[in-house]
C-alpha cells in the first residue's frame, strides 16, 4: 500500500493521509493549514486526493487543523462516508460551520480591498453550502468497534485523550494474502487532564504515524500551573479586578471552568462572576454535557454530585453582541473567557482593546500563541500594541501559564509508542516542527531500536 502525506509534515497543521491499496482509497483527516498568505493558500490544493475516487474517510478529531479541508471534498460528486466518534461528529459540525462563516467573512473583506485596487474579487475557500453538503456524510463510529469501511480495509477508533471524542485510528488492511495494521496516533493528549481519559495504548502495528508536537520536551507540571492560576484569581478577587482569558472554544474553555469550580469547591476562592463570552464556547460546553459518558471517572463522579456548574453559581453565558458589549462596563472582580485563543480575532480582541490600558486588569494566556498574533506580542512583553488600527498601551498584568497543553509531552509520546514497540513497527513522525520531530526520532531509535522516518510535505510512504 501507499500512504501519501497531505500535510503536517514538518509542521503542525494541515494533517491528512491518503491510504491507497490495490482495492481501496481511504483518507484519514484532511485538516486546514493555519497561517497567513502562502501557508493559507496551500489549502486550495488537494494534492493527490481525488474526492470522487475516495472509498472512505476517517476523522481523528474535530480540530480545524484535522478537519478543516473536508468541505472541499463536497464540491463534486462526493458520496463517501466519514467515520468519526459520535462526539467528533457533533464537534465537527460546530467547527466547520464556524469555519465556513469565517472563510466567507475573510473573502468579503479581501474583496472590498481588491475592488478599491481595481482587482478581481477574492474567492472563499468554502462556504456554508459545502459544509451543508458534507455533514450528512458523517457516520458515528463509537470507540472500540471495528467496522469495514472499504474493500479490504477495516477501522477501529481508540481514545487519544486530546479533546472529547478524539481518537487514534487503527486500520487493518488486507491485500491478497497479506494483512497489515497501520496506526495513526492522531493528536495525543497528556495524562491526568480533567474530563478526559488518558490516551489508550494500542497493542500491535506494522506502521505507526505518530504526532511529535512536543517531541523535545515535557510540560510544566499541572500542579505548578494551577498554583499560579489560583494566585492570580485570589489577587483579582481581593482587589476586585477583571481577569481576561483568551481561550479556544472547545476543550480549553471547559478546562478553565472546571479548575475555577474546583478552587471554589475547595474553599480557596470566593464565588465570583465567570462569563463565557463566546457563542461557540457556549455550544461546545453544551456538547460536553451531551457526551458526558466519555468523561473520566473523576468528572463522572463530579457529575453525579451536580457537576462543576454547582460550584459556579455566578456563571454567565454571554451569547449576543449586546451582552458582550455590556461587559465593558463591568467594574468588579470577574473572569471573562472569550475567543479566539490566540487573540487574532473574535470578542477577546474587543475586551483587550477596552482593557489593556487599565492597571487593574489581568490577562491570563493559557494556550499556545503562534508568531505574529496579538497574543504572541503580549506574551513577549509588548508595551504598546495596535488593535483595529489603534495604538493601545499595555498596563494590564500579562500572565503566561504553560501547563494546560492538550498535547502529550515527550515522555508520554515515548510511553504511548512503547506499547507498540514489541513488534518493532516502522515509525513515521508527523505533526511537529523539525526540531521536536528530530529529537523524538532519536529517542525512539535509541530506546526501541526501530526505524524512524521524518518525511517532508508530499512524501509517499510504502508498505509491502
Whole-number minimum distance, CB 86 to Zn ion, in Å? 18
CB nearer to Zn ion: give 59 or 363.
59
DSSP bridge pairs for 157: 169
CB nearer to Zn ion: give 54 or 95.
95
CB nearer to Zn ion: give 11 or 55.
11
CB nearer to Zn ion: give 20 or 187.
187
**Cβ(275)–Cβ(236) below 8 Å:** no
Burial of 6 (0-12, 13-18, 19+ CB in 10 A): buried
Whole-number minimum distance, CB 410 to Zn ion, in Å? 17
Whole-number minimum distance, CB 233 to Zn ion, in Å? 27
Number of Cβ within 10 Å of residue 354's Cβ equals 18
Q: Binding-site residue total for Zn ion (CB under 5 A)? A: 2
- Beta carbons within 8 Å of 299's beta carbon, 6+ residues apart: 194, 195, 258, 292
Near Zn ion by CB under 5 A, which window of 20-28, 180-188, 199-207, 365-373? 180-188
Whole-number minimum distance, CB 61 to Zn ion, in Å? 6
Near Zn ion by CB under 5 A, which window of 87-95, 186-194, 262-270, 278-286? 186-194
DSSP bridge pairs for 397: 362
By CB under 5 A, what part of segment 136-175 binds Zn ion?
A: none
CB nearer to Zn ion: give 319 or 433.
433
- Quote the crossing angle between the two packed helices 86-116 and 279-290, to the nearest 10°: 170
CB nearer to Zn ion: give 63 or 354.
63
CB nearer to Zn ion: give 88 or 278.
88
C-alpha cell at 259: 479548575
Near Zn ion by CB under 5 A, which window of 185-193, 219-227, 251-259, 365-373? 185-193
Whole-number minimum distance, CB 187 to Zn ion, in Å? 4
Q: What region, left, alpha or beta, does residue 57 occupy, with left being phi > 0 and alpha being psi -120 to 50 degrees? A: beta
Question: Which segments of 290-420 are extended strands (E)?
Answer: 315-317, 334-338, 361-365, 384-387, 390-393, 397-400
By CB under 5 A, what part of segment 187-216 binds Zn ion?
A: 187
Round to whole Å and give the CA distance between 414 and 442: 11
Closest residue to Zn ion in the complex (CB): 63
By CB under 5 A, what part of segment 32-91 binds Zn ion?
A: 63
- Beta carbons within 8 Å of 274's beta carbon, 6+ residues apart: 257, 260, 312, 314, 315, 316, 334, 335, 337
Whole-number minimum distance, CB 255 to Zn ion, in Å? 14
Nearest to 344 by CA among 258, 255, 248, 264: 248
**By CB under 5 A, is residue 252 in contact with Zn ion?**
no
Whole-number minimum distance, CB 319 to Zn ion, in Å? 26
CB nearer to Zn ion: give 187 or 412.
187
**Quick one: the chain helix, strand, coil %, rounded to 5?**
35, 20, 40
Residues binding Zn ion (CB under 5 A):
63, 187
Amino acid at each position: 500500500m501507499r500512504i501519501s502525506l497531505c500535510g503536517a509534515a514538518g509542521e503542525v497543521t494541515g494533517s491528512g493521509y491518503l491510504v491507497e491499496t490495490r482495492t481501496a482509497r481511504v483518507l484519514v483527516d484532511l485538516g486546514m493549514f493555519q497561517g497567513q498568505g502562502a501557508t493559507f493558500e496551500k489549502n486550495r490544493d488537494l494534492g493527490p486526493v481525488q474526492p470522487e475516487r475516495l472509498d472512505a474517510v476517517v476523522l481523528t478529531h474535530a480540530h480545524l487543523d484535522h478537519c478543516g479541508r473536508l468541505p472541499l471534498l463536497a464540491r463534486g460528486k462526493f458520496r463517501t462516508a466519514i467515520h468519526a466518534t459520535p462526539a467528533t461528529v457533533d464537534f465537527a459540525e460546530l467547527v466547520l460551520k464556524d469555519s465556513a462563516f469565517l472563510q466567507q467573512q475573510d473573502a468579503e473583506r479581501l474583496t472590498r480591498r481588491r475592488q478599491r485596487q481595481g482587482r478581481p474579487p477574492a474567492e472563499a475557500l468554502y462556504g456554508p453550502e459545502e459544509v451543508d453538503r458534507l455533514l450528512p456524510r458523517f457516520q458515528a463510529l463509537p470507540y472500540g468497534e471495528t467496522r469495514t469501511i472499504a474493500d479490504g480495509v477495516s477501522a477501529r477508533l481508540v481514545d487519544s485523550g486530546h479533546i472529547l471524542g478524539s481518537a487514534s485510528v487503527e486500520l487493518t488492511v488486507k491485500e491478497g494474502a497479506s494483512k497489515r495494521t497501520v496506526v495513526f496516533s492522531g493528536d495525543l493528549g497528556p495524562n491526568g487532564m480533567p474530563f478526559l481519559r488518558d490516551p489508550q495504548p494500542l497493542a500491535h502495528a506494522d506502521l505507526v504515524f505518530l504526532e511529535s508536537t512536543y517531541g523535545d520536551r515535557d510540560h510544566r507540571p499541572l500542579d505548578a500551573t494551577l498554583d499560579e492560576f489560583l494566585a492570580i484569581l485570589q489577587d483579582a478577587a481581593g482587589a476586585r479586578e477583571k481577569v481576561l482569558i483568551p481561550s479556544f472554544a472547545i476543550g480549553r474553555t471547559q478546562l478553565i471552568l472546571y479548575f475555577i469550580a474546583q478552587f471554589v469547591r475547595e474553599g480557596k476562592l470566593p464565588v465570583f462572576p465567570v462569563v463565557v463570552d463566546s457563542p461557540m464556547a457556549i455550544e461546545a460546553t453544551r456538547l460536553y454535557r451531551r457526551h458526558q459518558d466519555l468523561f473520566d471517572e473523576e468528572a463522572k463522579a463530579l457529575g453525579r454530585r451536580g457537576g462543576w456548574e454547582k460550584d459556579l453559581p455566578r456563571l454567565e453565558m454571554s451569547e449576543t453582541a449586546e451582552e458582550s458589549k455590556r461587559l465593558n462596563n463591568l467594574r468588579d472582580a470577574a473572569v471573562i473567557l472569550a475567543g479566539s485563543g490566540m487573540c487574532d480575532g473574535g470578542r477577546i480582541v474587543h475586551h483587550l482593546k477596552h482593557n489593556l490600558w487599565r492597571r487593574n486588569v489581568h490577562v491570563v494566556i493559557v494556550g499556545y500563541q503562534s508568531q505574529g498574533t496579538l497574543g504572541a506580542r503580549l506574551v513577549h512583553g509588548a508595551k504598546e500594541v495596535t488593535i483595529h488600527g489603534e495604538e493601545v498601551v499595555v498596563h494590564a498584568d500579562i500572565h503566561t501559564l504553560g501547563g494546560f497543553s492538550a498535547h502529550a509531552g515527550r515522555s508520554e509520546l515515548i510511553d504511548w509508542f512503547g506499547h507498540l514497540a514489541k513488534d518493532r513497527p516502522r515509525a513515521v513522525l508527523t505533526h511537529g516542527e523539525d526540531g521536536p520531530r528530530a529529537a523524538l526520532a532519536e529517542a525512539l531509535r535509541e530506546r526501541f531500536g526501530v526505524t524512524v522516518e521524518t518525511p517532508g510535505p508530499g512524501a509517499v510512504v510504502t508498505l509491502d
